[in-house]
Amino acid sequence: MATDRSAPPAKILTVSQATQMVKLALETAFPLLWVEGEVSNFHRHQSGHVYFTLKDERSQLRTVMFRREAQKLSFEAKDGLKVVCRGRVSVYEVRGEYQLIADLMEPKGKGALQLAFEQLKEKLRAEGLFDPARKKKLPMLPKTIGLVTSPRGAAVVDIIRTLKRRFARLRILLYPVKVQGEGAAREIAEGLDYFGSRGDVDVLIVGRGGGSIEDLWAFNEEIVARAIFRCPVPVISAVGHEVDFTIADFTADVRASTPSVAAEMVIEKEESFRERIDSLSGRLAGNVRLDLQRRNEQVYRLTHHRAFQGFKDMILALAQRVDDLETQALEFVRRRQRSLLQARSRLDLALEKARNAVTSLLRERRGRWERLSVALDAASPLAILKKGYALCWKNGGRVLVRKAQDVRTGEELAVSFFKGEIACRVESVDRNRTIESRLDKE
């Protein structure tokens, strides 16, 4: 029997009804599937939803990932990235287009955490967070050390034990945080900001013991890296084992391979400081002794000059005073050394006091010697002889001639200049001529 093609069908569907039927059929047939492809036309809407297309050599598939799932992505998806998506097929009824509604996305051939690590590392490097020029030096003798780590982990025990063994009088402050899991990165950043705002902490150690990349991931979070970067206190990153590297390691001022190594880096052994203090004290005493010996030699040379015979007793007394000062200075240094050894709890303060005291003593002694030298130069006959004057001696150089009346015609005289001496005989004596009349005549 022939069919009448012109007769109307029993039921006519609207576009919406037809689309709903197709949508139901697709969702029933493909409740869950995995799709591999290359990302293109990637777009993150202000609502938080992510829209992109998966494609291969022959086909394309529109894909959407809604905000709740998109917020869980640990890496930054972008065009050209090979990915694997899990989701269900549905129809966007407004445009009548079928699409994949994805609830999970992983990079193809590389773990999501590893890709996120590399992406963040490159981003922060470009911003200059890893620049060696901005890294701060560790203090030589810190008084207070801050720890940002778990209070129950093995790392905090190793750090405190090592610090106490190397230098028992350190002040150690602990900011307890979670070091893995949700909220760990935020707590670590808060700990860094807290110590950075105190003003009494000299160096920070942030870290934890070893683990998988998932366990260490809090130290790969951007919030932790930026907290380390803005911290005004030098930061040592001590995360995991020697083979583990995190974003915190690259951002910190110093990276330690383990928490125990961080404790060894932060301060030298107490014995090393005592040896350094002994060495500096010895050098200080040697410098004082050398300076006083040099000034003693100057005094000795002056006392043996003809022009200073009249000052010999005074100079000898001054030389004896110099010896007394040397003894006092050496005794002062020895007392300071004993004081430093007895006051081990205040090594750094004692060293500073010793340095300032000896420096002040040297400055005082140097000032007194300079004033003495000026006074001696002012009273020295040599200063007058340098100007062209001379001294006349008679009786074989034993008597100084002060006026013409003291000599007779034919008498032998010795004339001393600043350099050298001549012998002469008096040809005539004019007892009435004065120096003023000679100057007037000339």
Three-state DSSP at 323 gives: helix
Contact of 64 with 50, CB cutoff 8 Å: yes
Across 149-178, average pLDDT: 86
Q: What are phi and psi of 28, to 5 degrees?
A: -75, -40
Across 319-342, average pLDDT: 75
Confidence at residue 110, expressed as pLDDT on a 0 to 100 scale: 58
Q: In the chain, where are the structural domains located?
A: 15-109, 130-266, 270-381, 391-441
Across 129-158, average pLDDT: 88
Confidence at residue 209, expressed as pLDDT on a 0 to 100 scale: 84
- Helix axis angle for 312-342 and 270-303, nearest 10°, is 180
Q: Do domains 15-109 and 130-266 have the same CATH topology?
A: no
The answer to whether domain 130-266 has CATH 2.40.50.100 is no
Q: How far is CA 136 from CA 122, 130, 228, 232, 324, in A?
A: 22, 12, 11, 9, 48
Least confident of 55-69, 214-228, 260-274, 321-335: 260-274
pTM for the predicted model, two decimal places: 0.45
Confidence at residue 138, expressed as pLDDT on a 0 to 100 scale: 86
Residue type, 213: I
Most confident of 20-24, 320-324, 359-363: 359-363
Residue 313 vs residue 374, higher pLDDT: 374
Beta strand 33-44 with 82-92 is antiparallel
Contact of 149 with 155, CB cutoff 8 Å: yes
**What does the pLDDT look like over 80-102, one tens digit per residue?**
778 888 888 888 888 878 888 88
Least confident of 194-208, 230-244, 257-271, 402-416: 257-271
Q: What percent of the chain has pLDDT over 90?
A: 12
Residue type, 111: G
CATH code for the part of the protein at 15-109: 2.40.50.140
Contact of 413 with 396, CB cutoff 8 Å: no
pLDDT at 270 over 50: no
pLDDT at 305 over 70: no
Q: How far apart are CA 407 and CA 395, in angstroms?
A: 10
pLDDT at 299 over 80: no
Residue 225 vs residue 289, higher pLDDT: 225
Across 131-139, average pLDDT: 89
Across 97-121, average pLDDT: 75
Least confident of 154-168, 251-265, 283-297: 283-297
Least confident of 139-143, 353-357, 426-430: 353-357
pLDDT at 111 over 70: no
Residue 376 vs residue 229, higher pLDDT: 229
